[in-house]
Structure 1
Amino acid sequence: MKYNILTYLLIVILPVFTGACSDYLDKSPDDELTLEMVFRDKTRTEDWLAGVYSKIPNPYLEKVKHVDALADDYSPSKGWETYGWDCISKAQGNWSSSSSWGAGYWGDFPPKIRAAYIFINNVKANPQQLVTEQEVTYMKAECRFLIAYYYYIMVTNYGAIPLQTWLSDFDSSSEELMIGQTPFDEVIAWIDNELQEVAKILPPYYTDSRKYGRVTSVMCMAVRARMLLFAASPLVNGNPYYKGYENNKGVEIFNTTRDDQKWVKATTACKELIDFAHANGHQLYYEYNDDGSIDPFLSYQNMSFKRYDEGNKEILFGRPSTGEGGSNNNESYDYDKHAQPRGTGGNGGLGVSQELVDAFFMANGQSPITGYNGDGSPIINSASGYSESGFSEANDVRKTKWIESKGDIANVVNPVTLEGTYNMYCNREPRFYVSVLYNGSWFRRDNRETKFYMNDVDGGPTHDAPQNGYLVRKRVHPNHDPRNNIRPYRPGILYRLGEAYLNYAEALNESNPANRAEILLYLNKIRERGGIPIYGGGVGEIPVPANQDDMREAIRRERRVELNCEFSIRYDDLRRWMIGESTLNRTFYGMNYEGTEKSDDKSNSKAFFTRKPYLKRVFTKKNYWAPIHQNQIDKNPNLRQLPGF
């Protein structure tokens, strides 16, 4: 059957590998360009494949404003709601089945899945244009991965989705076109099988740098391990809340009986990923001081900036980009600009939460804050040495080449905080300084301290100022300069080895908590690279968590810090652990936005460095999943809305 390309314009969009797609769509009349013509031409074939790839999420600004800010890492300016930041309203509980969601998964992914099936059914070798049978085999496998990956994102965000594993014709019966939702575990099992099968076909890496971002067997195993961890977690493993929630055929969507074998399966998948990644050259990213010791500041910072071909073998799944000026670079440019102080040419309102600030460890490896009182005040761990009183009397100088706090690359040691810094921010671990820009931080490009006070250069009353006293520094390139349109490249990292270590530690603690040595091995690898004492019984080490519950809490604290502000991880964690209600359903605090004085005097309304309510958030049982939009249910009466919506 001969198809006119006009039928498929909805599913072919601009590619991420080449710039030719729009050209070829313009060259031929829509009523002449057929599928046969597309797939006998190498360029058009590659462009079609690029279109299938094009909805792999960009982990920078676009997904921050729709997904990541629904968790408790980011804290964007409330004034940005009018500019499409729908996460702000949703975080306050304003989410119904008629609300649009900018993440776009339900609308964006099915056309790409259909495009992938069309590609698989039509692609062919083309010896005259050097398209080999091997390349065709790889491209088909890539499409199978993308179908599985898009379904993975959908099922872990919506919970109940229709799984269509075939290509239906447009003239198919309504029964075939409008299918109901597939039980959650069946979707997971299908994706699991596909990822394992595709991993057997694709190579672990490509020697051709032009193929960076193309699917590898490592990527297949990484997505599989993360998915099985989600599927083993309390939200979907023995959660009684969803009992009785059925699809159109009367079959329950979720299995509400706990299955411990899911944790065993997740553990095995996580370890297989780590072993396979190690065998193929992947490792944590390190930079070193002159004496050979780990520089935790530069290691953690540049892990987000260095490309794979620059030695960053921590990347397991990197989003492809067209490089300077390409889609990924534009997204990271906007991310950087939103996170830089407005007095330096930035938009100045992409902050992080006070709760994230509180989560970072002290330099001695202890947690500073263990919880909150009913009035929102912190419960301080006295053993940590943490203080919220007063300002430092000297620079904090450490062995590092990190120069963002008035440092010099030629020095053996450099300051990480300056004299006069609020003590809340002093003596903290390296990852804190790489992740958080606070009032009084040194800003190297402008050669000055940040000034977030009301009516000061970086502060209010504009909404392009940190609403709760902080801007995000994690993944913000220090050389980014919006005034001069300088936009350094960095990879779009969707999965890295550091996460794989923590995923394995968590799964192993649930499936085999007696294997403490193995759990600590991978947990301590993260702490060592982070520059804080490891868990152990030696001098200067932190006491090992006493039992499974304590170890679980230690792993969760480490995840919060190590993986902060990385695409969807915290959002998924809060949901799969079922702690959204206790974590997000409350008042959030920050520094005093109205403050004009460098003071921590709680009785002084002008004091900036005092905790003040910032935002009342709402999270109830229904919010563990995104609702199916009502217009989709109107189109397909076989869909059943999730409980609560």
Structure 2
Amino acid sequence: MHLKNIIIVSAVVLLVAGCKKMNNGPQEFYTEEYVFDPLDKNGLAAQQALANLYTSMPTGFNRIGGDVLETATDDAIPSRNGTTIQLLINSNITNSNNPEAAWTKNYEGIRKANLFLRNVDVVPKPAEVIIWKAEARFLRAYFYFELLKRYGGVPIVGDTVFSTTDRIQLKRNTFEQCVNYIVAECDAVKGMLRAEPIASNDFGKASRGAALALKARTLLYAASPLYNGGVPAGASGEQRELMGYAAYDVERWNKAAIAANDLLALNVYPLETAYNNVFIHRRNNEVILSYLRGTTTDVETNNGPVGYSEGGTGYGQTSPTQDLVNAFGMNNGKFIDEAGSNYNPAAPYTNRDPRLALTVFTNGAQWLNRAVQTYEGGLDKPGFNAQQTRTGYYMRKFMGNFSTATAYTAQNHNFVLFRSAEVMLNYAEALNEYSGPVQFVYNQLINLRKRAGIAAGADARYGLSATLSKDSMRIVIQNERRVEMAFEEQRYWDLRRWKTAEQELNKNLGGMKITNNNGVFTYQPVTAGAIVFTAPKMYFYPIPHDEITKNPLLIQNYGW
């Protein structure tokens, strides 16, 4: 859908659903006056319109043709053939065929926010309206960030709601203008949003912390190599302004570090004691904002091991790679190939970082009251023509605690959008790039490793060398981010903003062939798949063909 259609679509229908006031007739007859009613003393219809804005946020999990986004990285491959995400895996997207329809979705969200902001002041709830408007502005800024990280600078429509008679011809704002707009909106609304702790009936709504988290993430991206002076040399002058900053500036890292620390300094989002609680407890200390979903078993069913009978049926759609498994270190904090790690290739899952067992099903892991069998011919890798793991692994993250259960039961499966662990990693990364590996950088990694269950060691550094350089600390931080945030739709964007995708996403991807010899397992690393990244064009998505056709003022990204 091109920009004009997004902006002129009959939007009140998109804004409302489920409110008792709305159950008296067909929704296509609802008008703005009906939804934003000065006689609606409780503002029920307006609240429902605001709630509907949240549905435009990222939904996560198996959202791209049934696959998780990470199957377009080196962390996993799809277990099925011929899925739409192969377009991303093989760098075969075009400006008219992209399985991520982000332009349409996010401009629809922006339009809904602008309609809400234009009309909500008539509702006779002045104190609440201030908060509601701040929420709508935060969500609008979030939608712009989702566009920014994919396309670079995009048209900023401000508060305008265009009519059906308007001929919309908007230029793309520069990357810098979009960053400044998002940051300014976060600064403007943070004092009007709900301050922590959030009341039970407001759980899931944008808070002061959400605004600070969005600001911190936006500034981290802006400081990163892709955007911070890293635009391809072949781009035109106009393209360069749209795709990033012309020159590198180390102060951008400082701004990102300050923004992350501003949120951490609130001391209202402590790490959860148990890592898995972050993903299965509807309310917990660590989560700043989630996309709320009902209790379901869909994550387990879509991704669980395939060899279980009724009640525990899994389709195994996500096959984590050996590359990801190798990224998890040992329980002493060492990389598996580091001196003193004590890694044993004959028992590759023994004494590993405890987060591995909560992220990936390995052979022998306990699930649904038996051991997972991903060895050749095992129940979960039967070998005949069936959908099953292609790597010897299944995705475990986000699932309930079903080790000794006999069937799946509905779980809280909210998709986490912001959590304090990410903000700690943002702070560590930005501060290391600006000041080097100072103690505050170490502190973030130590706290995360301590929560994970890594052994402190005699020096209480949780496996971290005391003499890391900036470059070696960067490697540690990037790996820590990979394992801590696995399958949370971070790595796909991290490899792009770090401008390392052309190395990390142009290679064969590994799996593990496991053989069972009368209860004795042997492990043989094998090639399980491949991924292709065409640089430099795949660092940005192309502006959709329909948009370019309808609006000749839009400049296409370099390489497309």
**Please, what TM-score do these two structures have when normalized by structure 2?**
0.89
In the alignment, is residue 190 of structure 1 matched against residue 158 of structure 2? no
Q: Confirm or deny: 8 A CA contact 1:505 1:555 kept in the other structure.
A: yes
Q: Deviations over 1:197-248 (max 9, x none)?
A: 0102112236531211111111000111011101100000011415643559
1:416 maps to what in 2? Answer: none
Residues 1:450 and 1:320: Cα distance change in structure 2 (over 3 Å): closer
Please tell me whether the aligned partners of residues 585 and 619 of structure 1 are also in contact (alpha carbons under 8 angstroms).
Answer: yes
Q: Displacement, 1:179? A: 0.9
Q: In 2, distance between residues paired with 1:543 and 1:495? A: 29
3-state SS in 2 of match to 1:469: coil
Give the Cα–Cα distance (whole angstroms) in 2 for the partners of residues 456 and 508 of structure 1.
47
> Which SS does the other structure have where 2:356 is aligned?
helix
For the residue of structure 2 that corresponds to 1:495, the secondary structure is strand
Matched letter for residue 128 of structure 2: E
Asked if the contact 2:75/2:324 (under 8 Å) is kept, the reply is yes
Runs (5+) with no aligned partner, structure 2: 1-7
Aligned residues: 543
1:313 to 269, 285, 300: 285
Of 243, 256, 277 in structure 2, the residue corresponding to residue 266 of structure 1 is: 256
1:618 maps to 2:520: no
Cα drift, residue 26 of structure 1: 6.2
CA contact (8 A) 1:599 1:608 kept: no
Paired position in structure 2 for 1:475: 398
Other-structure match for 1:335: 299
The aligned residue for residue 74 of structure 1 is 76
Match of 1:635 among 539, 542, 550: 550
Which position in structure 2 is the counterpart of 1:124?
121
Q: Distance in 2 between matches of 1:190 and 1:86?
A: 33
Shift of the 482–113 alpha-carbon distance from structure 1 to 2, 3 Å rule, reads farther
The aligned residue for residue 104 of structure 1 is 101
SS in 2 for 1:439: coil
Alignment check: 8 A CA contact 2:73 2:491 kept: yes
Output one character per residue of 1:244-302: Cα deviation in whole Å (capped at 9) or x when no partner: 43559x965432210111111101101101112x0xx321111xxxxxxxxxxxx1122
CA drift at 1:433: 1.3
Instruction: State which structure, 1 or 2, has the greater radius of gyration over its C-alpha atoms.
Output: 1
Report the CA distance between 1:442 and its aligned residue. 2.0
User: SS of 2:171's equivalent?
Assistant: coil
* Corresponding position of 1:377: none
Report the CA distance shift for 1:535/1:524 in structure 2 as closer, same or farther (over 3 A): farther
Letter in 1 for 2:496: R
Task: Quote the offset at 1:453 in angstroms.
Answer: 3.8
Query: For the structure 1 residues 86 and 600, does the alpha-carbon distance in structure 2 shift closer, same or farther, using more than 3 Å as the test?
Result: farther
Measured after TM superposition, the shift of residue 95 of structure 1 is 1.8
Indicate if the aligned counterparts of 1:315 and 1:496 stay in contact, CA closer than 8 A.
yes
The one of 235, 239, 246 aligned to 2:226: 235
Counterpart residue type for residue 502 of structure 1: L
Q: Percent identity?
A: 29
Does the alignment pair 1:561 with 2:552? no
Q: What TM-score results when the alignment is normalised by the length of structure 1?
A: 0.78
- Which whole-Å CA distance do the structure 1 matches of 2:339 and 2:385 have between them? 38
8 Å contact from structure 1 (residues 181, 247) kept in 2: no
- Partner Cα separation in structure 2 for residue 600 and residue 628 of structure 1: 55
Counterpart secondary structure, 2:280: coil
Contact 1:70 1:90 in 2 (8 A): yes
Distance across 2 between alignment mates of 1:536 and 1:19: 58
Q: Matches of 1:193 and 1:588 in 2, distance apart?
A: 41
1:367 aligns with: 335
1:534-545 matched pairs, under 5 angstroms? 534=456, 537=459, 542-545=464-467
Q: In structure 1, the residue corresponding to 2:187 is in which secondary structure?
A: helix
SS of 2:324's equivalent?
A: helix
Alpha-carbon distance in 2 for matches of 1:631, 1:517: 51
1:517-536 pair list within 5 angstroms: 517-534=439-456
Which residues in structure 2 correspond to 1:302-451 (within 5 Å)?
302-308=277-283, 312-321=284-293, 326=294, 329-330=295-296, 333-344=297-308, 345-368=313-336, 380-389=337-346, 423-443=347-367, 445=368, 447-451=369-373
Distance 1:38 1:480 in 2: 48
Query: AA paired with 1:304?
Result: F
Question: Residue 93 of structure 1 aligns to which amino acid in structure 2?
Answer: S
Distance 2:218 2:90 in 1: 28
Aligned CA RMSD, in angstroms, stands at 2.9
Q: 1:56 to 1:240 in 2, by over 3 A?
A: closer
The answer for the alignment partner of 1:399 in structure 2 is none
- Cα distance, 1:172–1:536 mapped onto 2, change above 3 Å: farther
**Cα separation, 2, equivalents of 1:424 and 1:242:** 44
